Structure 1
Amino acid sequence: MPQLDKLIARLESGVASAIVLESDSPIALQTGMGLQQFSSQVLSVSQVLALISEVADADVRPSIQSGRDIRFTYQFNGKPWLVQQDKDASGVRIEVRAWSERDNGAETPKPLNTAPRGVASVTPTAAPATPAVAPLAESSRSVPRRADDAPIAAAAEQSDARSALDALLRIQVSRGAADLHLRVGEPPIFRLGGDLVRLEGEAPLTPEGLEAMLRSIMPVKNQGEYEELWDTDFAYEIEGLSRFRVNVLRDRYGIAAVMRTIASTTVTVEQMGISPEVQALCNLTKGLVLVTGPTGSGKSTTLCALVDLINRTRSDHLITIEDPIEFVHQSKKCLITQRQVGVHTQSFKSALRAALREDPDIILVGELRDLETIAIAMETAETGHLVFGTLHTSTAASTINRIVDQFPADRQEQIRIMLSESLKAVVSQVLCRKIGGGRVAAREILIVNKAVSALIREGKTVQIPNIIQTQRKLGMETLNDALLNLVKTKQVEPEEAYNKAVEKKDMAMKLKAIGHNITSAGLDE
Structure 2
Amino acid sequence: MTPSGLQQVSTQVLSQSQVLALVSELATPESRPAINAGTGIRFFYRFNDKQWLIQQDEDPSLTRILIRRWVDRDATGTPTAGADGTTIRSRATDTPSGPFTSEDEARAALEKLLRIQVSRGAADLHLRVGEPPIFRLGGDLLRLENHVPLTNEMVGSMMRAVMPEKNRAEFDEQWDTDFAHEIEGVSRFRVNVLRDRHGTAAVIRTIATTTVTVEDMGISPEVQALCHLTKGLVLVTGPTGSGKSTTLCALVDYINRTRSDHIITIEDPIEFVHQSKKCLITQRQVGAHTQSFKSALRAALREDPDIILVGELRDLETIAIALETAETGHLVFGTLHTSTAASTINRIVDQFPADRQDQIRIMLAESLKGVISQTLCKKVGGGRVAAREILLVNKAVSTLIREGKTVQIPNIIQTQKKLGMETLNDALLGLVKSKTIEPEEAYVKAVEKKDMSSRLRLLGHNIDAVAGEE
Do the two structures share a fold, i.e. TM-score over 0.5?
yes
CA distance in 2, matches of 1:380, 1:190: 40
TM (norm. structure 2) is 0.77
**TM-score normalised according to structure 1 size:** 0.69
Q: Secondary structure at the match of 2:318?
A: helix
Match of residue 428 from structure 1: 373
Would you say 1:319 and 2:267 are equivalent positions? no
1:499 and 2:444 are equivalent in the alignment: yes
Offset of residue 521 of structure 1: 6.8
Question: Helix, strand or coil: the match of 2:162?
Answer: coil
| 1:469 paired residue number | 414
Distance 2:236 2:402 in 1: 21
Question: What displacement does 1:518 show?
Answer: 1.9
Say which structure, 1 or 2, has more relative contact order (CA 8 Å, 6+ apart).
2
CA–CA distance in structure 1, aligned partners of residues 127 and 103 of structure 2: 20
Q: Please name the residue that 2:228 is paired with.
A: 283
Aligned partner of 1:485 in structure 2 is 430
Matched, 1:380 2:325: yes
Q: Structure 2: which amino acid aligns with 1:338? A: Q
DSSP-derived class of the 1:159 partner: helix
AA at the equivalent of 1:405: D
Between the aligned partners of 1:438 and 1:524, the Cα distance in structure 2 is 24
1:255 aligns with 2:200: yes
Q: Counterpart in 2 of 1:415? A: 360
1:177 aligned to 2:137?
A: no
Consecutive aligned runs of 4 or more in structure 1 exceeding 2 Å deviation: none
Residue 212 of structure 1, CA deviation: 1.3
Q: Are residue 293 (structure 1) and residue 228 (structure 2) matched? A: no
Note if contact 2:313-2:335 (Cα within 8 Å) is conserved in structure 1.
yes
- Give the 3-state SS of the residue equivalent to 1:204 in structure 2: coil
Q: Does 1:233 align with 2:178?
A: yes
SS of residue matched to 1:236: strand
| RMSD between superposed Cα atoms in Å | 1.2
Q: Which of 279, 286, 289 pairs up with 1:334? A: 279
Aligned residues: 369
Give runs of aligned pairs for residues 142-221 of structure 1, distance below 5 A. Answer: 159-221=104-166
Aligned twin of 1:15: none
Look up the match of 1:400. 345
Shift of the alpha carbon at 1:160?
1.2
Query: Is 1:350 aligned to 2:295, yes or no?
Result: yes
Shift of 1:211: 1.5
> Do 2:103 and 2:157's aligned partners in 1 also have CA atoms closer than 8 Å?
no
Whether contact under 8 Å (1:504, 1:523) holds in the other structure is no
Task: After superposition, give the CA deviation of every residue in 1:342-366 in whole Å (9 maximum; x if it has no partner).
Answer: 1100110000000000000000000
> Partner of 2:189 in structure 1?
244
- Name the CA distance, whole Å, in 1 between partners of 2:152 and 2:462: 48
- Residues 274-306 of structure 1: CA deviation (Å, up to 9, x unaligned): 111111111000000000000000000000000
Q: CA deviation at 1:258?
A: 0.4
- Decide whether aligned partners of structure 1 residues 222 and 520 sit closer, same or farther in structure 2, where only a CA change above 3 A counts: closer
> Cα distance, 1:210 vs. partner?
1.8
C-alpha contact 2:235 2:370 (8 A) present in aligned 1: yes
Offset of 1:523 from its aligned partner? 6.5
Q: Which secondary structure state, in structure 2, belongs to the residue aligned with residue 435 of structure 1?
A: coil
The share of aligned pairs that are identical, in percent, is 83
Q: Which amino acid aligns with 2:112?
A: A
Residue number in structure 1 paired with 2:87: none
Q: Offset at 1:517?
A: 2.1
Asked if structure 1 preserves the Cα contact closer than 8 Å seen for 2:440 and 2:466, the reply is no
Cα distance in 2 for partners of 1:185, 1:400 equals 42
Mapped to 2, the partners of 1:206 and 1:250 lie a distance apart of: 13
CA contact (8 A) 1:286 1:387 kept: yes
SS, match of residue 193 in structure 2: strand
Alignment partners' CA distance in 2, 1:287 and 1:211: 44
Given that residues 186 and 205 in structure 1 are in contact (C-alpha distance below 8 angstroms), is that contact kept between their aligned partners in structure 2? yes
Q: In the alignment, residue 366 of structure 1 is paired with which amino acid? A: G
Distance of 2:174 and 2:139 partners within structure 1: 29
Asked if the contact 2:444–2:466 (Cα under 8 Å) also holds between the matched residues in 1, the reply is no
1:268-279 matched pairs, under 5 angstroms: 268-279=213-224
Give 1:322's aligned amino acid: E
User: One-letter code of the match for 2:234?
Assistant: V
Q: Which has the larger radius of gyration?
A: 1
Instruction: Give me the whole-angstrom Cα distance separating, in 1, the residues matched to 2:252 and 2:140.
Output: 30
Give 5+ residue unaligned stretches, structure 1. Answer: 1-156
